[in-house]
């Protein structure tokens, strides 16, 4: 199965800025360590009555011959009747079974898919799997909630990544199609659900690769995203986890990259970025003139609230005083 982009040999440590779950795990995974996971279920409630009937697992294909492979290996399990659920769940658990526990990537899987797996394990007297979980829902919202009407995985795939899901069925139809299959045995529509499930895995992996590209080169990225949101979070992440973001070949200086990202967003008229830079210039760098420049940039914005404008005016007055004193002395 083909992906959006080539699979890199390694991911930059800056990927943990975009995907904070990696900070909790305290390491950047190798591409072949990742398992991309998605379920199709009979409902969205997540209660004991919700059953998973289709599971997909995707792994980046190991390619020793060709550098920059774009292929995935995908395995699916389909539940054909209720009595077979025990075997179905056991197969899912086996996919997660390795030592150390695998690094599983999902979209809203922490709150939903994995919770369904745990519930169905308990209902079938099976020990739930242990795993490290990376969820891309919140990273996606941080980058795209101000750009898109909704941050569903499918919408991001089409609107941001440029993937083609023409002819794909809606995931909302999957439960009714499965129930219809149980009644009639007709599988043509069920095969369409399986295709939809495969596309979800390919889209999920492509999204992860896109986040890796943005982390490596956020300035000038081919993907549109909320640069101000990333710039502010980038600075926050570096401040809280300075030892994690080591220099590496893919991102020689996360600190320098973060500063450039802030400066670029401030120059493009982003108010919050300009304010952060003004505060940093005044109090850390002790550069009143530079702080004044960023403050003036923030004040030039048209959509300032009265409260924020008053605050910035006070800052400008203070900085003008500091600049004047520096000139005199």
CB atoms within 10 A of CB 148: 18
Average pLDDT over the chain, rounded to whole?
Answer: 91
Question: Based on the domain organization, do 180 and 237 belong to the same domain?
Answer: no
| Helix 188-216, helix 174-184: angle, nearest 10 | 150
Question: Based on the domain organization, do 181 and 94 belong to the same domain?
Answer: yes
What does each C-alpha distance from 45 to 51, 109, 152, 267, 319 come to in angstroms? Answer: 10, 13, 17, 45, 55
**Cα(313)–Cα(278) distance, rounded to whole angstroms?**
13
> 295 pLDDT exceeds 90?
yes
Contact between 319 and 295 (Cβ < 8 Å):
yes
**Cα(177)–Cα(189) distance, rounded to whole angstroms?**
6
Instruction: For Cα atoms 36, 41, 45, give the angle at the middle one, nearest 5 degrees.
Output: 110
**Cα(20)–Cα(15) distance, rounded to whole angstroms?**
8
**Cα(208)–Cα(20) distance, rounded to whole angstroms?**
13
Q: Is residue 222 included in any domain, yes or no?
A: no
**Domain containing residue 248:** 227-328
pLDDT digits (tens, 9 = 90+) for 299-317: 988 788 999 999 999 999 9
Question: Based on the domain organization, do 132 and 271 belong to the same domain?
Answer: no
Q: Is residue 79 included in any domain, yes or no?
A: yes
* Domain final residue, candidates 163, 190, 216: 216
Question: Based on the domain organization, do 78 and 175 belong to the same domain?
Answer: yes
* Domain final residue, candidates 160, 189, 216: 216
Number of structural domains the chain divides into: 2
Q: Is residue 98 included in any domain, yes or no?
A: yes
Question: Based on the domain organization, do 241 and 202 belong to the same domain?
Answer: no
The DSSP line for 236-261 is HHHHH-TTTS---SS-S-HHHHHHHH
pLDDT digits (tens, 9 = 90+) for 240-264: 998 888 766 666 688 889 999 999 9
Question: Based on the domain organization, do 187 and 122 belong to the same domain?
Answer: yes
pLDDT digits (tens, 9 = 90+) for 11-40: 999 999 999 999 998 889 999 999 999 999
* Domain final residue, candidates 181, 216, 251: 216
């Amino acid at each position: 199965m083909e992906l959006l982009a080539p699979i890199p040999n390694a991911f930059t440590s800056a990927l943990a800025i975009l995907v904070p779950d990696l900070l909790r795990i305290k390491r950047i995974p190798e591409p072949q360590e990742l398992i991309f996971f998605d379920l199709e279920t009979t409902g969205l409630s997540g209660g004991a009555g919700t059953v998973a009937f289709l599971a997909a697992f995707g792994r980046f294909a190991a390619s020793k011959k060709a550098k920059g492979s774009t292929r995935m290996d995908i395995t699916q399990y389909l539940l054909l009747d209720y009595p077979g659920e025990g075997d179905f769940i056991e197969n899912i658990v086996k996919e997660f079974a390795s030592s150390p526990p695998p690094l599983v990537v999902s979209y809203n899987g922490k709150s939903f898919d994995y919770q369904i797996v745990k519930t169905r394990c308990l209902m079938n007297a099976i020990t739930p799997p242990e795993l490290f979980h990376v969820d891309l829902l919140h990273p996606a919202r941080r980058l795209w909630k101000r750009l898109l009407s909704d941050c569903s995985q499918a919408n991001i795939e089409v609107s941001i990544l440029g993937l083609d899901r023409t002819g794909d069925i809606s995931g909302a139809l999957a439960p009714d199609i499965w129930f219809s299959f149980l009644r009639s045995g007709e599988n043509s529509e069920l095969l369409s659900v399986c295709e939809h499930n495969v596309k979800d895995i390919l889209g999920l992996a492509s999204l992860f690769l896109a986040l890796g590209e943005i982390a490596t080169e956020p300035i000038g990225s081919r993907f549109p995203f909320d640069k101000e949101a990333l710039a502010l979070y980038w600075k926050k992440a570096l401040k809280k986890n300075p030892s994690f973001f080591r220099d590496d070949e893919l991102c020689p200086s996360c600190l320098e990259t973060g500063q450039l990202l802030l400066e670029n967003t401030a120059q493009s008229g982003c108010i919050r970025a300009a304010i952060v830079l003004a505060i940093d210039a005044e109090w850390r760098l002790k550069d009143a003139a530079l702080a004044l420049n960023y403050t003036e940039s923030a004040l030039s914005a048209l959509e300032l609230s009265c409260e924020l404008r008053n605050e910035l005016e006070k800052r400008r007055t203070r900085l003008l005083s500091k600049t004047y004193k520096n000139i005199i002395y």
